C-alpha cells in the first residue's frame, strides 16, 4: 500500500487527522440541528426495550371450582382445581403463586404467573437475518462451486445450463426473484405437496432459496475467474504426475484459487447480508421488517433506523474480520 | 520404450498451423535423446504429445507398448510412469518443497505419508536441497526450483523423464547446477528425452540428437555425427548460427 506514497511530516498527518474528526462531528451536529428545527424529539431511552423485553406469563384456570390441593414440585407447584365433577392440574411457578388452598376460582382466573426476560424484537430480527444469511451463504457456496466448475467444463450440457442459470439470475432484480419464489414456485410446490398429503414448506425456506440461488450465480462467476487466474502450468504439472482432473482440481488448483477469490467472495456475502433486508416483503421478520414494525409502534423512526443500520454494520463487519483473518492465515501457509 | 509413428498436430492460433507433420521417432530404454531446433520448430509440442499434454491429431504413440492415444488407455496411469520437467518449473506455490515432492506419491501412488517423505528427503538430498525441505518455492532461486521439480518428477519412479527446455528460464549461473543433476541421471541409465538449447549438454550426454524444424525431424544421429558432419542444409545453417 505504502509503495509510491509520499512521506509527509508529522504536522501534516496530525492536521488532516484532526480535520477528519472535526468534520465528522460537524456532520453529526448538522443532522442534529436539522432535527431540532423540525421539532423532532430524540428518545434514545425508548430503544433498549426492543432489545430486551419482559414478558408476563400467566397460568389461568379453565374451569369453575376450588383449589383442591397445592403440592410443591421442584421450583414449581402443581395446583389442582376441582369443580363440578371435573378436575384440572396446573404447573405454576412457586414464586408467582396467587391462590391458596380452598379458594374459589372461575374460568380465566389467574392462578399464578411470572415475569420472564426475553430477547426483544430487534434481537430476534438480527438473529433471523444472521440465520438466513448463513444458510444462504452455505448453499450459495455449494451451488456456486458446482456451477463455476460446470461453466468451465468441456461438456456442453453442463456448460450451457450453467450459463443459462448465471445469466437468468444476474439479469433480473432480486426483488422480482423473491416474488417468483414466493408467489409462483412457493404456490406450485406447496399445492403439489398438499395434493400428496405432505407437509407444507414454510415461507422462510422460499426466502432462503431465493437468496442462495441468487448468490450462487455470483459465486459461480467468482469461482470461474479464480480458477482461470491459476496458471495453466499448475494443472499441467499436476496432470503430468498422473493426477486425474478431480485430483488436480482438489489438491492443486482450487486451494490456490481459493486464496484469490476470498476477497471478492467476502464482498458478495456482505451484499447478501444486506440484500436479505428484502425478505421482509414476503413476511419474513428479519431485521429490516422488525425495524419497520418497531417504528410503527414506537414512532421514533430516527433512532430505530440508525440502530438498525448499526446492527447490519455489526454483522457485515464481523464477516469482514473473519475473512481478513482467513486471508492472513492462508497467506502464511 | 517410446515409439512415435506419423504423429501430426495442428494448432488453430487462430490461423491453421501445422505444428507436427508426420513425425516418427523411437527411443529405447536407457537412451538419452536430445531434441534441438529453432523456436517454433515443434520440438516442445512433440515432447508434450508424448505424455498427451497435447493430444496429437493423428498417428500413434506407444509407451511401453501401450498406445497412449487410444481411447481406452488410462492416460493418468501412463503419465505417472513419465516424469516431466517444465521450462517454468511449475512448482506448486501453496505447498512446501517437501510437499511438492510428496503430493504425487500420496495422491497417485497411494504411498503412506512416512514412506513418501522418506523418499522425498532422499531425492532432495540427491539434488542438494534437503535443507530447503520446509521452504516454499517462491523463496528458492530458479536453479533450486528446477532441481525440486526434477525431484518431484523422480519421486514417481518414472520409467522415462521428459525435459521441456529445463534451463531456458534460468539465470546463466544457475544452468550448471541443473545440468549436473540431469547428467547424473543420465549416467544412472535413466531414459531421457530432452528439449534444450544447451549444445554442450547435447554433445556430452546425448546418445542421439534429433534436429527438428517446421514440424519435422530433419536429421538424427549421434552427437559426433551431428555436430561434426551434419548432412542437411537446414541443420548446417542452424549450427552455424548458434555455435
Spatial separation of the C-alpha atoms in residues A152 and B198, rounded to whole Å: 39
Cell of B187: 549416467
Average of pLDDT values for B137-150?
96
What architecture is the A55-119 domain classified under in CATH?
Answer: Beta Barrel (2.40)
Q: With 0-12 CB in 10 A as exposed, 13-18 as middle and 19+ as buried, what is A283?
A: exposed
Query: What pLDDT is recorded for position A94?
Result: 80
B92 contact residues in A (CB cutoff 8 A): 234, 237-238, 252, 256
Kindly give, in sequence order, each residue whose CB lies less than 8 Å from that of residue A250, ignoring residues fewer than 6 positions away.
Answer: none
Query: What pLDDT is recorded for position A333?
Result: 56
Query: What pLDDT is recorded for position A240?
Result: 96
Spatial separation of the C-alpha atoms in residues A286 and B127, rounded to whole Å: 62
What is the secondary structure of A154-198 as a DSSP string?
S-HHHHHHHHHHHHHHHTS-HHHHHHIIIIIIHHHHHHHHHHTT-
Residue contact B80–A259, C-beta within 8 A: no
b/e code B30-44 from CB counts within 10 Å (16+ = b): ebbbbbbbbeebbbb
- Calculate the alpha carbon distances from B170 to A64, A123, B64, B92 in Å: 98, 61, 33, 18
Residue contact A251–B103, C-beta within 8 A: yes
Residue contact A240–B53, C-beta within 8 A: yes
CB–CB contacts below 8 A, A to B: 60
Cell of B231: 548432412
Nearest C-alpha neighbor of B73 from the set B84, B82, B83, B62: B62
Spatial separation of the C-alpha atoms in residues B102 and A301, rounded to whole Å: 62
Kindly give, in sequence order, each residue whose CB lies less than 8 Å from that of residue B137, ignoring residues fewer than 6 positions away.
Answer: B89, B91, B92, B93, B95, B97, B100, B145, B148
Helix, strand, or coil here: B217?
strand
For chain A, count helices (H), then strands (E): 11, 6
Low-confidence ranges of chain A (pLDDT < 50): 1
| CB-based contact B140:B151 (threshold 8 Å) | no
Query: What pLDDT is recorded for position A151?
Result: 96
Query: What pLDDT is recorded for position A60?
Result: 85
Cell of B175: 544452468
Q: Which of A233, A242, A252 sits opposite B79 (nearest CB)?
A: A242
| CB-based contact B194:B33 (threshold 8 Å) | yes
Residue contact B103–A241, C-beta within 8 A: yes
- Pick among B47, B79, B150 to test the A interface (most A CBs inside 10 A): B79
Query: What pLDDT is recorded for position A332?
Result: 61
Residue in this structure with the C-alpha cell 464477516, named with its chain if needed: A319
| pTM of the predicted protein model | 0.82
Query: What pLDDT is recorded for position A305?
Result: 95
Residue in this structure with the C-alpha cell 371450582, named with its chain if needed: A65
Q: With 0-12 CB in 10 A as exposed, 13-18 as middle and 19+ as buried, what is B138?
A: exposed
- Calculate the alpha carbon distances from A107 to A64, A110, B45, B128, B201 in Å: 5, 9, 93, 93, 105
Query: What pLDDT is recorded for position B6?
Result: 95
Kindly give, in sequence order, each residue whose CB lies less than 8 Å from that of residue B80, ignoring residues fewer than 6 positions away.
Answer: A241, A242, B104, B108, B109, B156, B158
B76 contact residues in A (CB cutoff 8 A): 239, 242-244
| CB-based contact A75:A96 (threshold 8 Å) | no
B241 vs A240 pLDDT, higher one: A240
pLDDT at B172 over 80: yes
Mean pLDDT, chain B, whole residue set? 94
A234 contact residues in B (CB cutoff 8 A): 90, 92
Q: With 0-12 CB in 10 A as exposed, 13-18 as middle and 19+ as buried, what is A48?
A: exposed
A240 contact residues in B (CB cutoff 8 A): 51, 53, 79, 82-84, 153
Cell of A288: 429490516
Cis amide bond preceding A176, omega within 30: no
Q: Within an 8 Å CB–CB cutoff, is residue B91 touching chain A?
A: yes
CA A230 to chain centre: 33
Average of pLDDT values for B149-167?
96
Residue contact B108–A231, C-beta within 8 A: no
φ and ψ of B221, to 5 deg: 170, -175
Spatial separation of the C-alpha atoms in residues A227 and A229, rounded to whole Å: 5
Portion 145-164 of B in contact with A at CB < 8 A = 149, 152-153, 156
Residues of chain B with pLDDT > 90, as a percent, come to: 90
Q: With 0-12 CB in 10 A as exposed, 13-18 as middle and 19+ as buried, what is B160?
A: buried
Spatial separation of the C-alpha atoms in residues A311 and A124, rounded to whole Å: 12
Pick the CATH number of A121-332 from 1.10.3720.10, 1.25.40.420, 3.90.1150.10, 1.20.1250.20: 1.10.3720.10
Nearest C-alpha neighbor of A126 from the set A301, A321, A290: A290
pLDDT in tens, B190-205: 999 999 999 999 999 9
pLDDT band (50, 70, 90) for residue B101: very high
Q: Within an 8 Å CB–CB cutoff, is residue B66 touching chain A?
A: no
A256 contact residues in B (CB cutoff 8 A): 92-94
| Residue B213 DSSP code | E
pLDDT band (50, 70, 90) for residue B183: very high
CA B138 to chain centre: 22
Spatial separation of the C-alpha atoms in residues A27 and A18, rounded to whole Å: 14
| CB-based contact A294:A120 (threshold 8 Å) | no
| CB-based contact B97:B136 (threshold 8 Å) | yes
Query: What pLDDT is recorded for position A65?
Result: 85
pLDDT in tens, A270-301: 999 999 999 999 999 999 999 999 999 988 99
Query: What pLDDT is recorded for position A53?
Result: 84
Q: Where are the alpha helices (DSSP H) in chain B?
A: 43-50, 75-80, 97-107, 113-126, 142-154, 172-187, 199-205, 223-228, 233-242
Q: Within an 8 Å CB–CB cutoff, is residue B104 touching chain A?
A: yes
Among chain A residues, the shortest Cα distance to B84 is held by A240
Strands B208-213 and A65-73: unpaired
Query: What pLDDT is recorded for position A93?
Result: 83
Q: What is the domain partition of chain A in residue ranges?
A: 1-39, 55-119, 121-332
Spatial separation of the C-alpha atoms in residues A274 and A211, rounded to whole Å: 11
Amino acid at each position: 500500500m505504502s509503495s509510491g506514497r509520499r512521506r509527509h511530516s508529522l504536522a501534516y498527518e496530525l492536521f488532516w487527522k484532526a480535520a477528519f474528526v472535526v468534520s465528522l462531528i460537524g456532520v453529526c451536529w448538522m443532522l442534529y440541528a436539522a432535527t431540532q428545527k423540525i421539532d423532532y424529539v430524540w428518545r434514545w431511552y425508548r430503544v433498549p426495550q426492543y432489545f430486551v423485553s419482559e414478558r408476563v406469563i400467566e397460568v389461568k384456570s379453565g374451569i369453575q371450582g376450588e383449589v383442591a390441593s397445592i403440592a410443591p414440585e421442584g421450583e414449581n407447584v402443581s395446583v389442582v382445581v376441582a369443580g363440578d365433577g371435573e378436575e384440572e392440574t396446573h404447573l405454576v411457578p412457586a414464586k408467582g403463586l396467587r391462590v391458596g388452598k380452598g379458594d374459589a376460582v372461575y374460568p380465566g382466573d389467574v392462578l399464578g404467573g411470572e415475569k420472564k426476560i426475553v430477547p426483544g424484537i430487534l434481537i430476534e430480527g438480527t438473529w433471523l437475518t444472521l440465520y438466513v444469511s448463513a444458510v444462504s451463504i452455505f448453499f450459495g457456496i455449494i451451488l456456486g462451486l458446482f456451477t463455476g466448475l460446470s461453466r468451465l467444463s468441456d461438456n456442453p450440457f453442463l456448460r450451457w445450463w450453467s450459463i443459462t442459470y448465471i445469466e437468468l439470475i444476474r439479469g433480473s432484480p432480486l426483488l422480482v426473484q423473491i416474488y417468483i419464489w414466493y408467489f409462483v414456485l412457493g404456490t406450485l410446490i406447496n399445492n403439489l405437496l398438499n395434493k400428496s398429503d405432505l407437509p407444507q414448506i414454510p415461507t422462510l425456506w422460499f426466502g432462503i432459496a431465493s437468496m442462495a440461488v441468487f448468490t450462487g450465480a455470483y459465486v459461480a462467476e467468482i469461482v470461474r475467474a479464480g480458477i482461470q487466474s491459476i496458471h495453466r502450468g499448475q494443472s499441467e504439472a499436476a496432470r503430468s504426475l498422473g493426477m486425474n482432473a478431480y485430483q488436480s482440481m482438489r489438491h492443486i488448483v482450487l486451494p490456490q484459487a481459493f486464496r484469490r477469490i476470498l476477497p471478492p467472495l467476502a464482498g458478495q456475502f456482505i451484499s447478501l447480508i444486506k440484500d436479505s433486508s428484502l425478505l421482509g416483503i414476503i413476511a419474513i421478520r428479519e431485521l429490516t421488517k422488525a425495524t419497520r414494525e418497531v417504528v410503527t409502534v414506537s414512532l421514533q423512526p430516527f433512532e430505530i433506523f440508525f440502530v438498525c443500520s448499526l446492527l447490519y454494520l455489526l454483522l457485515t463487519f464481523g464477516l469482514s474480520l473473519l475473512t481478513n483473518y482467513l486471508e492472513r492465515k492462508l497467506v502464511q501457509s | 520404450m517410446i515409439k512415435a509413428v506419423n504423429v501430426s498436430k495442428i494448432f488453430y492460433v487462430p490461423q491453421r498451423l501445422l505444428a507436427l507433420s508426420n513425425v516418427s521417432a523411437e527411443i529405447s530404454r536407457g537412451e538419452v535423446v536430445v531434441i534441438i531446433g529453432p523456436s517454433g520448430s515443434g520440438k516442445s509440442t512433440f515432447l508434450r504429445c508424448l505424455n498427451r499434454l497435447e493430444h496429437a491429431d493423428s498417428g500413434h504413440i506407444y509407451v511401453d507398448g501401450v498406445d497412449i492415444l487410444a481411447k481406452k488407455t488410462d492416460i493418468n496411469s501412463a503419465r505417472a510412469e513419465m516424469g516431466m520437467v517444465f521450462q517454468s518449473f511449475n512448482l506448486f506455490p501453496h505447498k512446501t518443497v517437501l510437499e511438492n515432492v510428496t503430493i504425487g506419491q500420496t495422491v497417485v501412488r497411494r504411498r503412506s505419508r512416512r514412506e513418501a517423505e522418506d523418499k522425498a528427503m532422499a531425492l532432495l538430498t540427491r539434488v542438494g536441497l534437503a535443507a530447503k525441505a520446509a521452504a516454499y518455492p517462491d523463496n528458492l532461486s530458479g536453479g533450486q526450483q528446477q532441481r525440486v521439480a526434477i525431484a518431484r518428477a523422480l519421486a514417481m519412479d518414472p520409467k522415462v523423464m521428459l525435459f521441456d527446455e529445463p534451463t531456458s528460464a534460468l539465470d546463466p549461473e544457475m544452468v550448471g547446477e541443473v545440468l549436473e543433476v540431469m547428467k547424473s541421471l543420465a549416467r544412472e541409465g535413466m531414459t531421457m528425452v530432452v528439449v534444450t538449447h544447451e549444445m554442450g549438454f547435447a554433445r556430452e550426454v546425448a546418445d542421439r540428437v534429433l534436429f527438428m524444424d517446421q514440424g519435422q525431424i530433419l536429421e538424427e544421429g549421434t552427437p559426433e555425427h551431428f555436430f561434426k558432419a551434419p548432412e542437411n542444409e537446414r541443420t548446417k545453417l542452424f549450427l552455424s548460427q548458434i555455435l
